[in-house]
């Protein structure tokens, strides 16, 4: 593993609200990142914050993602604007005996920093890594990016040096009063898991007679 600081160990990433949900293990942070497909990336332009969802992959100690050269988000980040990237895995609904204590099970990673623009061979390698992470096996048969497609693309890497991790799990956290209340102590409480899954692949018209590639048979979520 790396010599980067532990999650939550900087003044900006120290979790203050419900600190018992803090995770300081970088391996757990990376496992969460490896389990996700979508990140939310923040950028401020003209004083207005925007939070943009993107596909991403972790590559070593960096998260990589890509977008259009015409995109405000990507141009601003490529110019060195500070950002905050979050990945959230939603694991369940928590039904407590009060609405106030009801919550969610989740695993989140938040990364702060400034992106590095990838170019040349490094960009091509990152784009192939991104494709392989999202669609394992696909780079073996789909066409790779053309020069004009690379020109239309900004590929960014965010170093995971300043991160925090928060994990919410366990049973409902009811107040002592609700646990003995004659009405609320008798209602159902607990957790409803949320499980992400992949549906049955649907071929387009041109691929209707083409067998499903073997690499897709191993794909799964949840």
Task: Look up residue 70 and give its DSSP letter.
Answer: T
* Pair 49, 43: CB distance under 8 Å: yes
- The least CB distance from residue 93 to ligand FAD, in Å, is 10
Token look-up 């992949």 returns: 198
Cβ distance to ligand FAD smaller for residue 83 or 131: 83
* Pair 115, 154: CB distance under 8 Å: no
- Applying CB under 6 A, the residues found at the interface with ligand FAD are 12-13, 15-17, 88, 90, 104, 106, 108, 110, 164-166
Cβ distance to ligand FAD smaller for residue 88 or 153: 88
Which stretch of DSSP H or E encloses residue 179? helix 176-180
Cβ distance to ligand FAD smaller for residue 16 or 186: 16
Half-sphere exposure of 132 (CA within 13 A, CB side): 12
Cβ distance to ligand FAD smaller for residue 88 or 98: 88
Cβ distance to ligand FAD smaller for residue 43 or 127: 43
* DSSP E strand stretches across the chain: 22-23, 38-45, 48-55, 57-59, 62-68, 82-95, 103-114, 116-118, 153-159, 162-168, 190-193
First to last CA, the chain: 25
Write b or e for each residue in 116-136: b if 16 or more Cβ atoms lie within 10 A of its Cβ, otherwise e: bebeeeebeebbebbbebeee
């Amino acid at each position: 593993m790396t010599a980067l600081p532990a999650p939550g160990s900087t003044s900006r990433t120290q979790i203050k609200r419900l600190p018992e949900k803090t995770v300081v293990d970088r391996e757990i942070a990376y496992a969460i990142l490896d389990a996700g497909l979508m990140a939310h990336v923040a950028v401020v332009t003209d004083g207005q914050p925007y939070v943009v969802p993107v596909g991403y992959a972790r590559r070593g100690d960096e998260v990589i993602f890509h977008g259009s050269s015409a995109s405000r988000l990507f141009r601003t980040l490529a110019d060195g604007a500070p950002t905050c990237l979050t990945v959230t895995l939603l694991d369940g609904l928590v039904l407590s005996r009060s609405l106030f204590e009801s919550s969610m099970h989740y695993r989140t990673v938040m990364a702060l920093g400034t992106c590095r623009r990838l170019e040349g061979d490094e960009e091509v390698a990152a784009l192939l890594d991104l494709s392989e992470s999202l669609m394992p096996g696909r780079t073996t048969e789909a066409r790779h990016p053309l020069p004009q497609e690379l020109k239309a693309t900004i590929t960014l890497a965010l170093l995971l040096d300043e991160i925090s991790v928060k994990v919410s799990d366990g049973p409902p956290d009811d107040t002592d009063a609700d646990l003995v209340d004659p009405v609320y102590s008798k209602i159902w409480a607990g957790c409803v898991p949320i499980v992400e899954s992949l549906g049955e692949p649907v071929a387009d018209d041109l691929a209707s007679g083409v067998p499903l590639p073997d690499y897709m048979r191993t794909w799964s979520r949840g």
